[in-house]
C-alpha cells in the first residue's frame, strides 16, 4: 500500500517507519526543509530505542522516503495520515491550526479516493472539521472527489513506541464508512496476525477514547501520589501499600508507582484538554481538576524534602541530579519534573550538576543560558562525576542504570551522604547499611 504521513515528529516518524517495515511504500512529508534534509541524511530528530536503525534500513530499501511536496506524495497514495502537533493553548484547549491547515492542503491536492486519517490527538469533533475543511477546498475547486475521514488515535509509550505499534494492545478506528473500514482493516492486518485487536467505533467515540485512556492513567498516578502523601504523615511505607493493592486484579500494578509527578507530551496536555472540553459544555470535571492539581504539587515534593532536611541552608550547596527526561527511554523534556526541581534549587542559590543518558541537548533548551554561563548549572556526561563534593544526590528519572549503583563509591565521592529518591528505586535498609540519609516518596520521610 502507498501511504503519506504528514508530520515527522514523534508520532509521524514512528507511524511511517512501522508501516514501511511491513512492506508499504511510505512518504513522510513535512514543511520543515531542514528536518527533511536531515532525515534524508539519516539524522533522526528524536531519541526512541530501535527507531534510528529501522528508519535507515527502510530508507535504504526504498520503502521510506522524505519529502516537502505533499501534492506529489498524494498522487498514488491510498491513505494520508495527519500527524502534526496539537499544542495546548493557555486555557488547556488543543490548537488545531496545524491539523486544519493540513486538511486544507489535502483538499487542494486530492484527485482520487483516499482515506484521510487523524493520527494526531485531537478533541472530539475534529474529524468533522477536517471533513469540512477538505470539502470546502473541493467546492472551491469545483470538483467532486470521494474521501473518508477516519480517527485512528495512537497509543504509543515513549521508550517503547516501536513495540507498541508493531504489537499493539488494540487498534482503535473511528469511522462510519464501510469502505474506509475495509481499507483500514487491510492496512493493519500485518500487525494483527496473532488475533484481531481492531476496535471499530464511531469517529467521535475514537477521538474520546484516546483522551479517556490518558486521563485514566494520569488519574492512577495522581491517586497513588496522594496516597503516598498520606503515608508520609502516618509513618506507613507506601511501597507495601502499593504491592497490597496491586495484587488485586481489579487494580493491577501498572501506573501505581508513587513518584515526583508525571510529564511528557501526552498526560499533561490531554488531561487539560478534557477539562477544557468539559467546561465548554458547562461541566466541572472535579476528578481531573484534582489530578492536575496533585501533579503540580507533586513536582515540588523533592524540593520540599530538600528544604526540610537542609532548612535555610540550601544556598551554596551542590546537588547532583540523576535523570532529566520526563521518563526513561526518551530524551523528551516536556513537562519533566526535573525542570521544576532544578529551577527551584537554582533560585534558592544552590549549585546543580546533572546527568542523563540521552537528554542533555533537549534539557539545555529548558533552562536560562545565564545559569550555565555563571556555572551554577552544569551537565556532566559521567554518572558518578556529578557526585563529587555533592551535599546530596536527587534521583528524578528511573533509568535502569540507576537501579544498582555502587553506594560505597557514591559515599566516598559525596560531601554528605544524603539521597532524595523521587522514584522509590532503593530499599531504605540498604541505604542505611551504607550510611546514607535517605528520603523517598511516601516512605515516612526519612530513613
What's the whole-number average pLDDT of the chain? 96
pTM: 0.94
Would you name the residues annotated as active-site residues? Answer: 266
Quote the pLDDT of residue 445: 57
Are the CB atoms for 75 and 27 separated by under 8 Å?
Answer: no
Quote the pLDDT of residue 162: 97
Quote the pLDDT of residue 446: 54
Q: Residue 372 corresponds to which cell in the numbers above?
A: 550555565
At residue 444 the predicted structure's pLDDT band, cuts being 50, 70 and 90, is confident
Question: Which of 77-81, 190-194, 246-250, 356-360 has the lowest average pLDDT?
Answer: 190-194
Query: For 321-340, what is each residue's pLDDT tens digit?
Result: 999 999 999 999 999 999 99
Query: For 105-160, what is each residue's pLDDT tens digit?
Result: 999 999 999 999 999 999 999 999 999 999 999 999 999 999 999 999 999 999 99
pLDDT of 447 higher than 60:
no
Other beta carbons within 10 Å of 390: 23
What's the chain's Rg over C-alpha atoms?
24
Sorted by sequence, the CB contacts under 8 Å of residue 145 that are 6+ apart come out as 110, 111, 112, 113, 138
H helices present in 312-368, as ranges: 337-347, 360-364
Query: For 265-297, what is each residue's pLDDT tens digit?
Result: 899 999 999 999 999 999 999 999 999 999 999
Other beta carbons within 10 Å of 379: 19
Query: For 370-427, what is each residue's pLDDT tens digit?
Result: 999 999 999 999 999 999 999 999 999 999 999 999 999 999 999 999 999 999 999 9
When pLDDT is averaged across residues 87-100 and rounded to a whole number, the result is 91
Find the helix or strand (DSSP H, E) in which 277 lies. helix 267-280
DSSP category for residue 88: B
Quote the pLDDT of residue 77: 98
Other beta carbons within 10 Å of 189: 12
Are the CB atoms for 55 and 42 separated by under 8 Å?
Answer: yes
Sorted by sequence, the CB contacts under 8 Å of residue 353 that are 6+ apart come out as 318, 319, 320, 321, 377, 378, 379, 380, 385, 386, 390
Half-sphere exposure for 53 (CA within 13 Å, toward CB): 3
Amino acid at each position: 500500500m502507498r501511504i503519506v504521513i504528514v508530520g515527522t515528529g514523534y508520532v509521524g516518524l514512528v507511524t511511517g517507519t512501522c508501516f514501511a517495515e511491513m512492506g508499504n511504500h511510505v512518504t513522510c512529508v513535512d514543511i520543515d526543509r531542514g528536518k527533511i534534509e536531515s532525515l534524508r541524511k539519516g539524522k533522526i530528530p528524536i531519541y526512541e530505542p530501535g527507531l534510528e536503525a529501522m528508519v535507515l534500513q527502510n530508507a535504504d530499501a526504498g520503502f521510506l522516503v522524505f519529502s516537502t511536496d505533499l501534492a506529489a506524495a498524494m498522487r498514488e497514495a491510498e491513505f494520508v495520515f495527519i500527524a502534526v502537533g496539537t499544542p495546548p493553548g493557555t486555557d488547556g484547549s488543543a490548537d488545531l491550526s496545524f491539523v486544519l491547515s493540513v486538511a486544507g492542503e489535502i483538499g487542494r491536492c486530492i484527485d482520487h479516493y483516499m482515506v484521510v486519517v487523524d493520527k494526531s490527538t485531537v478533541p472530539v469533533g475534529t474529524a468533522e472539521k477536517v471533513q469540512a475543511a477538505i470539502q470546502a477546498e473541493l467546492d472551491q475547486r469545483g470538483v467532486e472527489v470521494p474521501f473518508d475521514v477516519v480517527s485512528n488515535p495512537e497509543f504509543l509509550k515513549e521508550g517503547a513506541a516501536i513495540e507498541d505499534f508493531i504489537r499493539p494492545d488494540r487498534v482503535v478506528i473511528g469511522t462510519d464508512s464501510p469502505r474506509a473500514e475495509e481499507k483500514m482493516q487491510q492496512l493493519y492486518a500485518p500487525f494483527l496476525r496473532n488475533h484481531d485487536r481492531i476496535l471499530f467505533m464511531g469517529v467521535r467515540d475514537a477521538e474520546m477514547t484516546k483522551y479517556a485512556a490518558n486521563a485514566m492513567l494520569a488519574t492512577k498516578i495522581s491517586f497513588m501520589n496522594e496516597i503516598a502523601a498520606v503515608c508520609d504523615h502516618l509513618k506507613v511505607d507506601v511501597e507495601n501499600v502499593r504491592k497490597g493493592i496491586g495484587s488485586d486484579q481489579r487494580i493491577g500494578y501498572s501506573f501505581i508507582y508513587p513518584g515526583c509527578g508525571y510529564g511528557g507530551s501526552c498526560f499533561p496536555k490531554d488531561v487539560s484538554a478534557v477539562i477544557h472540553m468539559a467546561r465548554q459544555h458547562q461541566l466541572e470535571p472535579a476528578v481531573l481538576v484534582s489530578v492536575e492539581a496533585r501533579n503540580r504539587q507533586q513536582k515540588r515534593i523533592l524540593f520540599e524534602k530538600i528544604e526540610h532536611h537542609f532548612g535555610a541552608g540550601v544556598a551554596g550547596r551542590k546537588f547532583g541530579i540523576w535523570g532529566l527526561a520526563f521518563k526513561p527511554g526518551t530524551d523528551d523534556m516536556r513537562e519533566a519534573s526535573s525542570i521544576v526541581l532544578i529551577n527551584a534549587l537554582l533560585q534558592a542559590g544552590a549549585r546543580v550538576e546533572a546527568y542523563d543518558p540521552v537528554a542533555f541537548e533537549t534539557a539545555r533548551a529548558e533552562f536560562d543560558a545565564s545559569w550555565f554561563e555563571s556555572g551554577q548549572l552544569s551537565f556532566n556526561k559521567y554518572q558518578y562525576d556529578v557526585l563529587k563534593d555533592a551535599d546530596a544526590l536527587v534521583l528524578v528519572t528511573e533509568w535502569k542504570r540507576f537501579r544498582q549503583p555502587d553506594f560505597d563509591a557514591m559515599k566516598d565521592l559525596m560531601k554528605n551522604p544524603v539521597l532524595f529518591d523521587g522514584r522509590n528505586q532503593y530499599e531504605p535498609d540498604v541505604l542505611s547499611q551504607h550510611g546514607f540519609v535517605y528520603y523517598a516518596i511516601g516512605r515516612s520521610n526519612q530513613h
